[in-house]
Amino acid sequence: MFDSYYEIEQHGRRSFGNVSLKEFHQFKLDGENYLFNAATMTPYRISEPVARLVEKVAAPLGGGLITGQAMEELKKLDLVAGIDPQPSRNGASEPAADPAKPADSAPKVRYAVENIVLFVAQKCNMACVYCYGQGGEYGDKGMMNADTAFKAVDWLMENSGDIESVHIGFFGGEPLMNFPLIEKVVRYARKEAEERGKKVTFGMTTNASLLSDRRIAFLRKEEINPMVSFDGSPEIQNRQRPFKDGKGSYDKVYVNIQKLKKAFPHVAARATVHGGTDPAEIRAGMELAGLTSFVIQKATRVILDNPPVECVSCPDQDQADERMLSIEKRLARDLLGHIKARNARPENVNSTVGALVWKLISASKGYYFCSVGKTMAAITTAGDIYPCHRFAGQEDMKLGNIGSYRWSGLNDYHRAVVDNLPECKRCWARYACGGGCFYESKASRGDFHLPDRSFCRETKALMETAISIYLQLDEEDKTYFKVSLQRQLEDPCP
């Protein structure tokens, strides 16, 4: 590779000019200087003189000549442009090539779907105040019939190509309102998968209010992993997730969660922060219910009825963001202590910072936030196909119908690798988030290619916190974290 810098020697001393730097982020936190090499996902704690050196060389007019010693300091950080990249911590050369990046060099393989979300019910028995699906109806109220469900299973099998394992998630509304169909789909899908030499797994997102002993036994027998939507404390659950008749749902759901835990000890759950809700109160309620594997996320904007409008001056949203950041940073401090004490439990790592620390330990890059539109699709009661369940009912996002649409070739979702997104491709934290959720992006900016700015601010702040924690871990700490906690952090998008 042609060097971008030149070297001169005067009076026995080497100096370097025209030195440019690779992509990096430098910051100060709690009095310490840090530098993050974005290309290799490698963080460093640096001295004040090195911090000033980097600032000097990165200045718009350049740093002029620098000494040989200064050049060596920059090379230790793998920052000098024009030098072939060093192997990353996971053994690969950086920057790593992604199969779908850039758009004009797609691999000569067939892209296939491996995960469908089946809207068995576009109807719900709750009236959640923040529902982004029009009360679970998604613009097309009703129940899926067996004919459509079986055709959806056939569509998955036919469009999964050579993939050996496929997944079906039952969704709504509230999917348990159509439990007889779920039983039929499981039987049919297992038969079809066996005939095609595939394995099929199942999941379900449920509000847990319609669970019974028989239904829980069925979920356990068929290994249908449930994700429970639950907002923690009695007051918050009853306010945010009442039944259609206005009655609170906490007591019913709490009892059913306890039953469910006997069959699924580490049942996953998702809680939602809405309005002035305190995320700390939600977390305390989740732990009181015995839930150890859960995420807490801000309410999703509703765009089925309203066009996306970016919030420019939003005190309420800013306050909610600050509350989320505050609790995440507290959890980060707790996480470090539990790792050092070797007594971390799942509830200690259920945080964004925990997931980011894991990314740094594994040196893994997130080119996408999730599999939306690439290997994942959602199918409504009418058999319409959307890139994910959140987009259901939005006509401009519909891909087609199971009767005619074929899942093959490179599409816009494959091309939307984070390095190709216009506002993400130069962001130092892009591989930490993969560009963010496409639904949240569209809801915030009107275009799924443009990230939600509040999400960006939060990700960058938490990534800096994660970097400071990572650099306080020794190799034994990292091994403990990796072996004991990896499974808790694998999926950012429940």
DSSP 307-359: -----SS-HHHHHHHHHHHHHHHHHHHHHHHHHHHT---HHHH-SHHHHHHHH
The two structure tokens encoding residue 62: 């350049």
Q: Residues near 406 by Cβ (< 8 Å), separated by ≥ 6?
A: 159
In this prediction, residue 39 has a pLDDT band, given cuts at 50, 70 and 90, of confident
Percent of the chain with pLDDT over 90: 64
* pLDDT band with cut points at 50, 70 and 90 for residue 93: very low
3-state secondary structure (DSSP) of residue 92: coil
For range 366-395, the mean pLDDT: 94
DSSP secondary structure, 232-288, as one string: SSHHHHHHHS-BTTS---HHHHHHHHHHHHHH-TT-EEEEEE-TT--HHHHHHHHHH
How deeply is 65 buried, as exposed, middle or buried, from its count of CB atoms within 10 A (0-12, 13-18, 19+)?
middle
pLDDT per residue as tens digits for the range 100-116: 444 443 333 447 999 99
The alpha carbon of residue 91 and the mean position of all alpha carbons in its chain are separated, in whole angstroms, by 24
pLDDT digits (tens, 9 = 90+) for 458-484: 999 999 999 999 999 999 999 888 876
Tens of pLDDT, residue by residue over 115-149, are 999 999 999 999 999 999 999 999 889 999 999 99
Query: How high is the pLDDT of residue 468?
Result: 95
Are the CB atoms for 360 and 470 separated by under 8 Å? yes
Going by C-beta distance under 8 Å and a sequence separation of 6 or more, which residues neighbour residue 326?
none
Packing angle of the helix pair 315-341, 352-362 (nearest 10 deg): 60
More confident residue, 368 or 352: 368
State the chain's mean pLDDT as an integer: 87
What's the CATH number for 115-354+367-410? 3.20.20.70
Burial zone of 218 (CB within 10 Å; 0-12 exposed, 13-18 middle, 19+ buried): middle
**Cβ contact 204:220 at 8 Å:** no
Query: To 5 degrees, how large is the angle CA 413–CA 88–CA 370?
Result: 20
Domain boundary assignment for the chain: 6-76, 115-354+367-410
**Average pLDDT, stretch 184-212?**
97
Q: What is the pLDDT of residue 305?
A: 74
Residue of 212, 247, 253, 248 whose CA lies nearest to 229: 253
- The span from the CA of 304 to the CA of 308, in Å, is 9
Query: How much is the pLDDT for 175?
Result: 98
Paired tokens of 410: 């490179």
What pLDDT was estimated at residue 310?
63
- Count CB-CB contacts under 10 A for residue 343: 9
3-state SS assignment for residue 445: helix
Compute the distance between CA of residue 152 and CA of residue 43 in angstroms, rounded to an integer.
46
Of 85, 52, 90, 97, nearest in space to 70 by CA: 52
| pLDDT tens, position by position, 44-59 | 999 999 999 999 999 8
